[in-house]
Amino acid sequence: MSRLFAAAPRHRLDKLWPWLCAASVALSLLMLSALLTLLLVRGLGHFWPATLEEITLRSGSVVAGQAIRETPLPQEAGVERLYFKGNRDVDGVSWHWVDIDDITSRTTPHDLIRLERAPWGSFIGRLAAVETDQQSLHGHEAWDYLNNALTLPANQRPPGQLLLVTAQGETLRQPLDSVSQALAPNAMSWWQKTHTWGTNVWQFLSEGPRAANTSGGVWPAIFGTVLMVILMSVIVTPFGVLAAIYLNEIAHQNRLTRLVRIGVRNLAGVPSIVYGVFGLGVFVYGIGGTLDSWFFSDTLPSPTFGTGGLLWASLTLALLTLPVVIVATEEGLARIPDAQREGAVALGATRLEMLTRIVLPMATPAMLTGVILAIARAAGEVAPLMLVGVAKLAPQMPVDGEFPYVHLERKFMHLGYHLFDTAFHGEDVQAAMPLVYATALLLVVIILVLNLTAIFLRHYFRRQRGSEC
Amino acid sequence: MTPSRVPASYQPLRQFKNRVATGLITAGGIAVLLAILAIGVFLFWETLPLLALDKTFAFDKLSPLVWGTLKAALAAMLFALPIALGAAMYSALFMSARLRSRIKPTLEMMEAMPGVVVGFIAGLVLAPWVERNLASTLVLLVWLPISAGLAGVLWHMASSHWHRRLPFSWAGLWLVPWLVGMVALAVWLTPLLEQLFLGGDLRRWLEQRWGMDYATRNALIVGIAMGFAVIPSIYSLAEDALADVPLSMMEGAQALGASRWQALWKVALPAAGPGIFSAVMIGMGRAVGETMIVLMASGNTALLSASPFEGMRSMASAIAIELPEASPGGFTYHHLILAALVLFLFTFLVNTLAEAVRLRMRRRYHKAGHY
Amino acid sequence: MKCMGLSSGKKNRLRFTLATVLMLFASAAWGQPQPVSGTLSAIGSDTMAGLILRWGEALAVRYPEINLQFQATGSASVPPALTAGTARLGPMSRPMNDQERQAFIDRYGYPPLELRVARDALILVVHRHNPLRAITRQQADAIFSTGQACGAEKPIRRWSELAATREWPYGNIALHGRNLASGTYGLFQTEVLCDGQFRPDISEHPGSSAVVAAVGESPNAMGYAGYNHLTPMVHALRLVTAEGEEIAPSEQAVQRNEYPLSRDLYLYVNLPPGELLPAAEQAFLAFILSEEGQQIARAAGFVPLPDDELTNQQRW
């Protein structure tokens, strides 16, 4: 050894390599934080009531809208800006690209308003009047009347219509009951904006999607994700623990057990899509199809269990996370000193008593960690779900007041799939982008919280046991 | 581990309960293990009908997918390996213990980042940006390592006052702002360089000079995105392997006159070699099976091309897109299940290899009395 | 010693197992839908997803008890889904071909009910700054196919071959399209490629909006998508007819079938002849063929059926 090092000259570069290693850590941290910052800023920024601009172009036309982003022109020098101008019912498009050099004036008038309506989406322009059966209101009165009416649910509002004027001067009439939100962001104080931001975030979390997933919230997706994960853990916990106990406590420890153990461990590395294929072939087509032909033949050809659904998705994910739970529980079981078991047996306990009173309680933290890790993995999986039962839109929740309250055969919405779907299948990616960011942020937050819980629990229990057992 | 003799019990009920429970656990355990086994059996069974068909046909359709899968995985490994291993070496051997206890869980948390989120960012944010700033991206790939070295040179030239304030053992953290500055510098300067040397447009130059096509969603993007996704698993396992190397071995080497880096390179790395190998294998397994990132960032072009600027289609993404539409029993259905079987076997083998190597290493240290 | 104190949860685990098993049974026994549960289950065209969902939303306002479950997996998934019985409603962005129809008839003994529900068009899109404005169908075939089944002499790979005088965009045309399962893919193949083969280097995206987004980011790209996915990031090319006339994919041109790549959107229903549909399905069909339903189709970016066609369809 000594000759080896004496012969090797201390190379100058030896001092630099560690810096490259340090930079790797820094780069990983940088990428992670860049990703999280991007999600945070875009995801939360969307709910902030954006300033509406009114710009006059060199051609003389006037555009009112929200500035979205700027890109350099591909061929010549210069920058163009994208405006969201709404009003699709007026001229068929809701976006406008403007060459910045073409803008002659740019103002933010306080009377510009933004309405959300069905089915045509946003309106950006001015409120000229509110016409009801008895009266016609203008100016502030009209605005106050509108805001009062909006506090009522759509079907209880007094009949009436809004007289709206776009920036170009076209007028249109909008029935009062088709409007869901009205804002005058330029006239709002910082505090009002914060309030609106809070309301918007809450709506995003608590409402269902609207207008074919291009607006509205993600509540059904949150609910579907959580319900599926709960079902999955209910399935995976007993089976995973059972298998671990069998492997560690009951089976003879020989070559076969070792092989099985390696096999189980490796299954954790098998791609999730393979589990999805299995779920589709065996659960949906195999078991589901058979169940249908036995019990639900009267509703055929409409399938009940023979199509993807909550139950099959949970089962597939349970299978997927089974190795995680088995491995974690086994680790916990292996950590328990044999003396504990021998002591129990020596005192006359049967194996069952030894297991339930001594071994399992001591392995509980490990099981818990395993289950939480399984949950964290399952919550982020999308690929297998695309095969076994996730839906683009399932307004009918899998849990409702209808007997038997939990409908395991129903399709469900999932945050991850919702994200994929809005980003790649939606009508207008540009419009859906902010919602995609918000959904991504939500998914990441949920998963991070689950993981943190797992790390915390593991840490806590290890320390506790480390000092006392 | 299992007590070999259960003492005779005087209560038949307890004994009975015990027997029943043991039987149930055994049955349950075996059932679970069989269910897991069923995955392999099912995949084999469902690909059997393909044998009846002309063999070459199935393989013709599969080969671009296999190629795409390997290309994507390779691109990811090229990006991830240097970063993950470098980070592992730094955090196992150079980083301050306090920082390490924070950084390691943070990087491990990266692993939990869902593929669908990474894929979305890669496909809809990163890909367009890279397309607009291709030159900057390529320059960054070279410039970032150089700038790290530069930081080292500057640090060694600086006074000991700075060494105390910015110790090397914390460099993993305080290099972050430095790198941000360097990225900004490169992104700002590259267009000027491009103007000077390449006539203002790298893509046109590539196209005219080398006839290279550029697809928006390509191996480069997939490599970065999937690399990002596999860094944490490689890092975490490799770091464990390095940290498990007995300290006495490193100290011995240093006592014999080796620098810390030499000790790491000549002693710690060979000792942790099997562990690092298994980390790489497991990372490879993840990269091969990752679905959503490839689906969203690769363009899904079934091409047999080696160009880093062209897309590919992987087996996993082909399954995800096409299987729901394939009618059960049809050719596409069996063909996609064959793809799933290939994935299954490949990852299973890779993981078994990794596990076997890891177990052997563990036993070796066990013998040396260090583990 | 505290570790021993953790033993409280043991019985719960047994209960968990029991509960799971019970739930499995329960759902099998009780999960059967009520006679008029009002659940519509549809699988089908990704192109029509937005439309179907908006119809579902609007219908839910009128009949709160009617719910729609929709899985957008592509038109090609409709025939197997209807035949295998995994759905009863199958929106398709192309008509069923004979083979698919025959498979359905073989299983049930009657053909599926075919309804036209709106009009759509295939558009060819390029980056919004791309100077190219119009294209012939033969050129499109030469760009996207390998064999030029429509009769073009040689494939077109480069922008300079499309318009030799223009300096920009340069290089190869980056192609974007849909994946095999989508009806858009199939329709483009029959209509534009004359049933020829697609080039292998087309990026196949899992959704039309992804195609448009990709084209909108890259000045030298061209792609095809459904009419309703047109965004300001791209512009749609006019098609040159055999008479040399350039026709833009406008609403009128599509409705009057003047734009050559116009198409009907279909809804296939598994309806045994002589039987009545369940109430929910019936309400759904009546709604989408109403004036209001057609306006919603317009809001979703499609083209309503012409009036005579609409009355024709209402008579199913």
Q: Are residues A79 and A99 in the same domain?
A: yes
Q: Are residues A356 and A278 in the same domain?
A: yes
Task: Using alpha carbons only, give the angle B276, A381, C226 rounded to the nearest 5 degrees.
Answer: 120
What separation in angstroms does the CA of C23 have from each of A336, A353, B29, C16, C29? 34, 28, 21, 10, 10
CA nearest C170 in B: which residue? B204
Q: Are residues A337 and A229 in the same domain?
A: yes
A147 in any annotated domain: yes
User: Is the CB of A395 less than 8 angstroms away from the CB of C84?
Assistant: no
Go through the domains of chain B in sequence order and give each one's CATH number.
55-123+213-368 (1.10.3720.10)
Q: Does B67 touch chain C (CB under 8 A)?
A: no
What separation in angstroms does the CA of C186 have from each of A424, B281, C262? 19, 40, 14
Q: What is the distance between the alpha carbons of residues A238 and B56, in angstroms, rounded to a whole number? A: 45
Enumerate residues 264 to 303 of chain B having a beta carbon within 8 A of any beta carbon in chain C. Answer: 295-296, 299-303
User: Is the CB of C6 less than 8 angstroms away from the CB of A361?
Assistant: yes
Task: Using alpha carbons only, give the angle B231, B235, B237 rounded to the nearest 5 degrees.
Answer: 125
User: Is the CB of B148 less than 8 angstroms away from the CB of A420?
Assistant: no
Q: Flag whether pLDDT at A62 surpasses 80.
A: yes
DSSP string, C195-210: T-PBPTTSEEESSHHH
Give me the interface pTM, i.e. the ipTM: 0.87
**CA atoms in the 13 A half-sphere facing the CB of A404:** 16
Fold of C39-119+265-314: D-Maltodextrin-Binding Protein; domain 2 (3.40.190)
User: Is the CB of B266 less than 8 angstroms away from the CB of A4?
Assistant: yes
Tens of pLDDT, residue by residue over C78-120, are 887 888 777 788 898 888 888 888 888 888 888 888 888 888 8
Q: How confident is the model over A118-144, as a mean pLDDT?
A: 84
Q: Are residues A184 and A224 in the same domain?
A: no
Please give, rounded to a whole number of angstroms, the shortest distance from the CA of B316 to a CA of chain C. 14
Q: How confident is the model over A242-253, as a mean pLDDT?
A: 84
Report the CATH superfamily, name and number, of domain C120-262. Periplasmic binding protein-like II (3.40.190.10)
Amino acid letter for position B188? W
In chain C, which residues have their Cβ closer than 8 Å to the Cβ of B206? Answer: none
Please give, rounded to a whole number of angstroms, the shortest distance from the CA of A192 to a CA of chain B. 32
Q: Does C58 touch chain A (CB under 8 A)?
A: yes
Residue in the structure block whose two tokens are 């993404």: B317
Strand residues in A364-441 grouped as ranges (E): none
Tens of pLDDT, residue by residue over A299-357, are 555 566 777 788 889 999 998 898 889 888 888 888 888 888 888 888 888 888 888 88
Q: How confident is the model over A122-127, as a mean pLDDT?
A: 88
pLDDT of residue A443: 92
A199 in any annotated domain: no
Q: Closest to A21 (Cβ–Cβ): which among B90, B144, B266?
A: B90
Tokens found for residue A161: 């219509």
Category of A156 on φ-ψ map: left (φ > 0), alpha (ψ -120 to 50) or beta: alpha
In chain A, which residues have their Cβ closer than 8 Å to the Cβ of C8? Answer: 361
Q: Are residues A237 and A319 in the same domain?
A: yes
Q: Flag whether pLDDT at A298 surpasses 70.
A: no
Domain limit, last residue, from A66, A82, A107:
A107
Residues 6+ apart with CB under 8 A from C313: C115, C116, C117, C289, C305
In chain C, which residues have their Cβ closer than 8 Å to the Cβ of A118? Answer: 58
Sheet holding A62-72, edge to edge: A95-99, A79-84, A62-72, A53-57, A103-107
Range in A1-15, A33-47, C103-117 the model is least confident about: A1-15
Q: Are residues A176 and A296 in the same domain?
A: no
Tokens found for residue A326: 């088995």
Residue B326, phi then psi, degrees to nearest 5: -70, 130
Q: What parts of chain B have a pLDDT lower than 50?
A: 1-7, 9, 369-371
| 3-state SS assignment for residue A111 | coil
Q: Are residues A57 and A123 in the same domain?
A: no
Please give, rounded to a whole number of angstroms, the shortest distance from the CA of B318 to a CA of chain C. 10
Q: Are residues A150 and A244 in the same domain?
A: no
Q: What is the distance between the alpha carbons of residues C193 and C154, in angstroms, rounded to a whole number? A: 14
Q: What is the distance between the alpha carbons of residues B354 and A304, in angstroms, rounded to a whole number? A: 43
Q: At what angle do helices B12-52 and A310-335 cross, to 10 degrees?
A: 120
In chain C, which residues have their Cβ closer than 8 Å to the Cβ of A296? Answer: 32
Q: Does C165 touch chain A (CB under 8 A)?
A: no
In chain A, which residues have their Cβ closer than 8 Å to the Cβ of B153? Answer: 16
**Strands A53-57 and A103-107: what pairing?**
antiparallel
pLDDT of residue C13: 45
A37 in any annotated domain: no
Amino acid letter for position A56? T
Q: Are residues A237 and A179 in the same domain?
A: no
Query: Which residue ranges make up each domain of chain C?
Result: 39-119+265-314, 120-262
User: Is the CB of C203 less than 8 angstroms away from the CB of B328?
Assistant: no
Amino acid letter for position A26? A
Are B88 and B235 contacting, i.e. CB atoms less than 8 angstroms apart? yes
Residue A215: how many other CB atoms lie within 10 Å: 21
In chain C, which residues have their Cβ closer than 8 Å to the Cβ of A407? Answer: 27, 31
Q: Are residues A119 and A89 in the same domain?
A: no
Tokens found for residue B195: 């103007």
A213 in any annotated domain: no
Q: Please, is A110 exposed, middle or buried when counting C-beta atoms within 10 Å of its C-beta (0-12, 13-18, 19+)?
A: exposed
Q: Are residues A421 and A379 in the same domain?
A: yes
Size of interface B-C (CB pairs under 8 A): 82
Q: How confident is the model over C227-234, as a mean pLDDT?
A: 84
C-alpha closest to that of A93 among A121, A54, A116: A121
Q: Flag whether pLDDT at C237 surpasses 80.
A: yes
Q: Does C231 touch chain B (CB under 8 A)?
A: no
pLDDT of residue A59: 87
Are A411 and C71 contacting, i.e. CB atoms less than 8 angstroms apart? yes
pLDDT of residue C164: 58
pTM exceeding 0.90: no
How many domains does the structure of chain A reveal?
3
Q: Are residues A95 and A120 in the same domain?
A: no
Category of A389 on φ-ψ map: left (φ > 0), alpha (ψ -120 to 50) or beta: left
Tokens found for residue B80: 């991830």
Q: Please, is A391 exposed, middle or buried when counting C-beta atoms within 10 Å of its C-beta (0-12, 13-18, 19+)?
A: buried
* Consecutive H or E run containing A84: strand A79-84
User: Is the CB of B303 less than 8 angstroms away from the CB of C200?
Assistant: yes
Same CATH topology for C39-119+265-314 and C120-262: the answer is: yes
- What domain range includes position A170? 113-194
Q: Does B114 touch chain A (CB under 8 A)?
A: yes
Q: Closest to C28 (Cβ–Cβ): which among A120, A295, A306?
A: A295
**CA atoms in the 13 A half-sphere facing the CB of C290:** 11
User: Is the CB of C179 less than 8 angstroms away from the CB of B322?
Assistant: yes
Q: Does B230 touch chain A (CB under 8 A)?
A: no
Q: Does B251 touch chain C (CB under 8 A)?
A: no
pLDDT of residue A465: 61
* Distance from the first to the final alpha carbon of chain B: 20
pLDDT of residue A209: 76
A201 in any annotated domain: no
